[in-house]
Amino acid sequence: MQKRILMAKTGLDGHWRGPTIVARALRDAGFEVIMIGMANTDDIVTSAVDEDVDLVGLNVGGHIDVAIRAIESVQRVRPELPIFAGGTITPRAAKQLEALGVEVYPPGSQLTDIVDAAERLTGTK
Amino acid sequence: MTEATTQPLLASALDGDRSSLARLLSHIERDPRAETEIRTFLASKETESVVIGVTGPPGAGKSSLISALLPHTTSSFDRTAVLAVDPTSPFSGGALLGDRVRMQNHGLGDRVLIRSMASKGESGGLARAAATATQVLAACGWPLILVETLGIGQVELDVMDLATVIAVVLNPGWGDTFQANKAGLTEAGDVFVINKADKDGVQQTRADLQDSLSLLQSPVPIQIFETTAVNEDGVAALWQGIETYLADAQATGLQEQKLRTRRRRLLMRILQSGCEARIESYCCSDHGSAQVERALAGELSIGALQADLYANISQPE
């Protein structure tokens, strides 16, 4: 049965190409991808719960603190839920995210690597 | 998830636990047997919930319209659940469920619950589990449920089976008088919406629809509304129209009649899935599969196979 992935953007309402292409690749790999677009922490937490997703994909834009707040809030409600992140993430910010158990796919990551990660994190493969 | 978890999950969802409700919805999507179990269990439970079906072609603005309606629905009904169906790819089995993008900024907090659902190969404009999911939401105390169908063409009208009122969303320039008089979509609507009404062609579309609708026999007048959902134009009037329709439908007995039809369809579906399960187990049994093989080889006529099947599945379990 199809696994469900929540795709959300934190920070700015722009740079849509990345998450859109990633969502498309995940769809083509057989996932049900729930797009919520630009979202604040509450929206992301509510969506993760109500949509009963198996994985959260965060597109990080803007300040890393916003993403960290969202991640910590999701982890409070669903500690077992895996999260991975992409977008414009500096090496320093990547370390902060990884310390929270989040896998990071910075610019230049291959779509196949992202799909592989989604399969591994949801236990599809 | 095993069968044993269905009942505790249902109990906890009925108790108002939101994450149990969310998990229960996934459970019925994934497991047809659990869905049947829950559907049968809830069939006897009466609810007062109002279900509004929102349907129409792809890109008509169904999600945007629902988003614009939410402040109105929550002011009348306090809480609103939205079940939004989007297509599953027939190629990969995956789906991009994007309705939520348009509904995100309602700012109404926990008073709104949005659930996205993939159609999973169903061809009636909904997903297999959509009707049961609606039942579950109603049983869990959501007083108003908005069901958004796939973008549909002309006859994918499964939403008729579960909605109290159906809003058909179209756009200016949609078809002509012949299109408006074709069977299907224009017969199913209780309320019509011409969305994106800031574009050219509204008057012509309204006139074509009006002509077609004037020939329908409905005890409650069918109205046409014009909206531009993205800037909320006309949405308050639409909501007022839907509320008027609901009141009229109740007063004239139309709602009662629709409810009876719906309950009958639901009952038929429960009976059907029971029969299907028996046919399935016949075909999987040693005797049944041997009979099927004989029919395929031409040694047994289809009529004889049918007679043998009926004789076998009519025994009480």
Q: Is residue B90 less than 8 Å (CB to CB) from chain A?
A: no
Residue B19 at interface with chain A, using a CB cutoff of 8 Å: yes
pLDDT average, residue stretch A68-76: 96
SS3 assignment for B89-131: CCCCCCEEECHHHHHHHHCCHHHEEEEEEECCCCCCCCCCCHH
Is the per-residue pLDDT at B269 higher than 90?
no
Q: CB distance A1–B30 less than 8 Å?
A: yes
Q: Please write down the HEC assignment for all residues of chain A.
A: CCCEEEEEEECCCCCCHHHHHHHHHHHHCCCEEEEEEECCHHHHHHHHHHCCCCEEEEEECCCHHHHHHHHHHHHHHCCCCCEEEEECCCHHHHHHHHHCCCEEECCCCCHHHHHHHHHHHCCCC
Contact residues, A window 63-82, toward B, CB-based 8 Å cutoff: 77-78
Minimal-distance CA residue of chain A relative to B23: A52
Distance of alpha carbon B125 from alpha carbon B56, whole angstroms: 10
Alpha-carbon distance B151 to nearest alpha carbon in chain A (angstroms): 17
- For B119, the closest chain A residue by CA position comes to A32
CB within 8 Å: A52 and B93? no
Sketch out chain B's domains with CATH numbers.
Answer: 1-45 (no CATH), 47-252 (3.40.50.300), 265-313 (no CATH)
Q: Which of A32, A35, A51 sits opposite B101 (nearest CB)?
A: A35
pLDDT tens digit string along B226-244? 999 999 999 999 999 999 9
pLDDT score of B196:
95
Q: What are the Cα distances from residue B275, in Å, to A68, B135, B250, B268, B310? A: 53, 22, 35, 10, 10
**Å from B122 to nearest chain A CA?**
15
Q: Taking CA atoms, what residue in B is nearest to A36?
A: B101
C-alpha atoms less than 13 angstroms from C-alpha of B137 in its C-beta half-sphere: 29
More confident residue, B314 or A57: A57
* Residue B158, pLDDT score: 75
Confidence of residue B251 (pLDDT cuts 50, 70, 90): very high
Write down all domains in chain A, each with its CATH number in brackets: 4-121 (3.40.50.280)
Contacts of B95 in chain A (CB under 8 A): 2, 27, 31-33
